[in-house]
Amino acid sequence: MGLNLILLGPPGAGKGTQAKKLVEKYGIPQVSTGDILREAVKTGTPLGVEAKSYMNRGALVPDEVVIGIVKERLKRDDCTNGYVLDGFPRTISQADALFSYLNECGCPINSVIDIRVSKEYLVKRLSGRRVCRSCGSGYHIEFSPSKGTGRCDNCGGELFQRDDDREDVVTKRLETYEAQTSPLVDYYEKSGLLKTVNGVGDVEVIFNDICKIIDGR
Ligand code: AMP
């Protein structure tokens, strides 16, 4: 049976960082709706043009759009043995749609891991975040700076700040999380799938906690 995971948690909790480590350890792909949407914005596809206005004001892209994206993505061969969903679902409707879809194909979610970080950390984490334009590696100007001057340690690519990591948009994204996504904690608690980890502290310690949950499932 595949390893089908959801990483839950507010923006800035470290979902992307942990997802990348899970990819390495368990050999399953990271399915990040944020990454897929950003790629579409970059290449200027019709999806990207539509998504951009929502993303740049910290709002959610409409449910039917992201649900369509995820269904297509999960059909690909690399998801046969599992995947880690990062940034999806983000609303109850998305969670319901995912549930029905996976029910139909008989491959349910194994665990939903909620990465908990208190609000005061999040603004600092998001506004100091930098990403490599070439390989997508994540940095933080204070907590995990690159060794070189503004270049990626892995590939030498240019580091940049996401448009929606500017402080004004960050505040809005956190409000959006509270209003639309945080109800999912209860939703998955009720379905018995929810596990929580403390998301403040050393990346390796947090990763270890996540692996313990996965290996003990
Ligand atoms: P992320 O990289 O996960 O923080 O996502 C960046 C932005 O993409 C979000 O602020 C939303 O505008 C959009 N987005 C990503 N995932 C979803 C989703 N599941 N539902 C709606 N919008 C999404």
pTM: 0.94
Calculate how far, in angstroms, residue 91's C-alpha sits from the geometric centre of ligand 1: 11
The stretch 6-32 carries a mean pLDDT of 97
CA of 127 to the centre of ligand 1 (A): 16
Q: What is the CATH number of the domain that holds 180?
A: 3.40.50.300
The predicted structure's pLDDT at residue 116: 97
CA–CA dist 50, 44 (Å, integer) = 10
**Does 180 reside within a domain?**
yes
Q: What is the pLDDT of residues 120-174, one digit of tens each?
A: 889 999 999 999 999 989 999 998 999 977 899 999 999 999 999 998 999 999 9
Which tokens go with 180?
A: 């639309």
Closest alpha carbon to 98 in 90, 110, 107, 89:
89
Give how many domains the chain has, as a whole number: 1
The pLDDT of residue 1: 67
73-122 tens-digit pLDDT:
999 999 999 999 999 999 999 999 999 999 998 899 999 999 999 988 89
Which ligand 1 atom is at minimum distance from the Cα of 11?
Answer: 4
Give a yes or no: residue 185 inside a domain. yes
Q: For 68-82, how does the pLDDT look when each residue is reduced to its tens digit (9 = 90+)?
A: 999 999 999 999 999
In a domain, 12, yes or no: yes
Split at pLDDT 50, 70, 90, the class of 176 is very high
Query: Given the structure tokens 């998504």, which residue do they identify?
Result: 51
Asked if the structure places residue 113 within a domain, the reply is yes
User: What domain range is 183 assigned to?
Assistant: 3-28+81-118+173-215
Q: Helices 33-43 and 63-74, interaxial angle, to 10°? A: 100
Is 194 within a domain? Answer: yes
* 3-class SS of residue 2: coil
The answer as to whether 9 is a domain residue is yes
What is the distance in A from the centroid of ligand 1 to the CA of 104? Answer: 25
Beta bridge partners of 7: 86, 113
54 lines ligand 1 (CB under 6 A): yes
